[in-house]
A and B are shown apart, each in its own frame.
Chain A
Amino acid sequence: MDAEIPEWERLSGARVLSPVQPRKLAKVPFVEMAEGRLQGVVSSGSDIERVYVSSITARTHGYNCSTNNNRPCGGLRGAPCKHLRSLVDEAVLQYGLERVARYLRVEGDSAASLVGNLSGGHESIPAAVVFSRFLRHLAYLELPGTCEPVAEMHWFPSLGAVS
Chain B
Amino acid sequence: MLETQLSALSDGALPGVGEALGLISGFDDTLVDGLARLSEEQTAALVALAGGLGSTPIGPRAAEAAEKIAAGSISEEHLAALAGARTTLFGAVHDALLARLDSALGRTRAAWEGAQSASTDPLTAACRSWLVELAIIGWRGVDHDLASTADQAIQNLLAEPGLRRPAILLDGLAAELRASLGAMERLPARRWADLWARALLLTQTGGLEATERVSGRLLPLGVDIHEHGTAVQVQLHAILEPHGRLVRTSVCAAKVDTITGPFVWRLLSSYPVLLGALGKRLSLEITDMPLLAGGDLLWQEGKASAGASTDPFATARVQLSRASAPAVPPLERHPVRIAEPVFIEGYQSDGRALRLDGTSLAFDLDRLPQSGPLTPQLLKASTACIGLMRWDGGWRLQPLAVRANVKKEPVAVHNSDWAQGPTDPSVLKSGAKVGDPVAVLKERAGRLLRR
Residues of A in contact with B (beta carbons under 8 Å apart): 1-6, 8-17, 19-20, 22-26, 29, 34-36, 43, 48-49, 51, 68, 94, 99, 102, 134-162
A16 to B432, CA, bound (A): 29
- 28 examples of A-B residue contacts, CB within 8 angstroms: A1-B359, A2-B362, A9-B189, A12-B190, A12-B194, A14-B188, A16-B176, A16-B179, A16-B188, A16-B191, A25-B435, A26-B435, A29-B440, A29-B441, A68-B448, A102-B183, A138-B441, A142-B449, A146-B164, A147-B298, A148-B165, A148-B208, A149-B294, A150-B231, A152-B165, A155-B194, A158-B225, A158-B367
A162 to B398, CA, bound (A): 14
Q: A48-B447, A148-B208 are in contact. List 13 more A-B contacts (CB 8 A).
A: A1-B10, A3-B393, A6-B394, A12-B191, A13-B336, A16-B180, A19-B370, A139-B445, A140-B230, A146-B252, A148-B250, A150-B252, A160-B365
- In the complex, chain B residues whose CB is within 8 Å of the CB of A16: 176, 179-180, 188, 191
| Contact A143-B437, Cβ < 8 Å, known A3-B10, A20-B260, A149-B235 | no
Is B251 part of the contact surface with A, judged by Cβ < 8 Å? yes
Q: Pick the contact of B434: A15, A23, A144, A149 (CB < 8 A).
A: A23
In the complex, the chain B residue whose C-beta lies closest to that of A140 is B254
Smallest CB–CB gap between A121 and chain B, Å?
Answer: 24
A51 to B329, CA, bound (A): 48
In the complex, the chain B residue whose C-beta lies closest to that of A158 is B369
In the complex, the chain A residue whose C-beta lies closest to that of B7 is A1
A15 to B202, CA, bound (A): 23
- In the complex, chain A residues whose CB is within 8 Å of the CB of B161: 144, 146
In the complex, the chain A residue whose C-beta lies closest to that of B328 is A151
A50 to B161, CA, bound (A): 33
A134 to B449, CA, bound (A): 10
Residues of B in contact with A (beta carbons under 8 Å apart): 6-7, 9-10, 21, 25, 144, 148, 155, 158-159, 161, 164-165, 168-169, 172, 175-176, 178-180, 183, 186-191, 194-195, 198, 202, 207-208, 225-233, 235, 248-258, 260-261, 263-264, 267-268, 270, 292, 294, 296, 298-300, 329, 332, 334-337, 339, 353, 359-362, 364-371, 376, 392-396, 398, 430, 433-435, 437-438, 440-442, 444-445, 447-449
Smallest CB–CB gap between B31 and chain A, Å?
Answer: 12
Complex contact A158–B294 (CB within 8 A)? no
Complex contact A158–B226 (CB within 8 A)? yes
- In the complex, chain B residues whose CB is within 8 Å of the CB of A149: 235, 248, 250, 292, 294, 296
Q: Pick the contact of B395: A1, A8, A147, A157 (CB < 8 A).
A: A1
Smallest CB–CB gap between A99 and chain B, Å?
Answer: 8
Instruction: Choose among A3, A11, A146, A151 the residue with the greatest number of B CB atoms under 10 Å from its CB.
Output: A151
A161 to B250, CA, bound (A): 24
In the complex, the chain A residue whose C-beta lies closest to that of B431 is A22
A152 to B229, CA, bound (A): 14
Smallest CB–CB gap between B147 and chain A, Å?
Answer: 9
A157 to B388, CA, bound (A): 13
Complex contact A143–B258 (CB within 8 A)? no
Smallest CB–CB gap between A88 and chain B, Å?
Answer: 16
| Contact A1-B9, Cβ < 8 Å, known A155-B194, A157-B226 | yes
In the complex, the chain A residue whose C-beta lies closest to that of B162 is A148
A12 to B296, CA, bound (A): 23
Complex contact A25–B437 (CB within 8 A)? yes
A156 to B225, CA, bound (A): 9
- In the complex, chain A residues whose CB is within 8 Å of the CB of B186: 8-9
Complex contact A157–B230 (CB within 8 A)? no
- In the complex, chain B residues whose CB is within 8 Å of the CB of A153: 168, 226-228, 231, 233, 235, 252
Complex contact B444–A29 (CB within 8 A)? yes
Complex contact A148–B298 (CB within 8 A)? yes
- In the complex, chain B residues whose CB is within 8 Å of the CB of A17: 175-176, 179, 228-229
| Contact A147-B252, Cβ < 8 Å, known A11-B190, A24-B435 | yes
In the complex, the chain A residue whose C-beta lies closest to that of B21 is A10
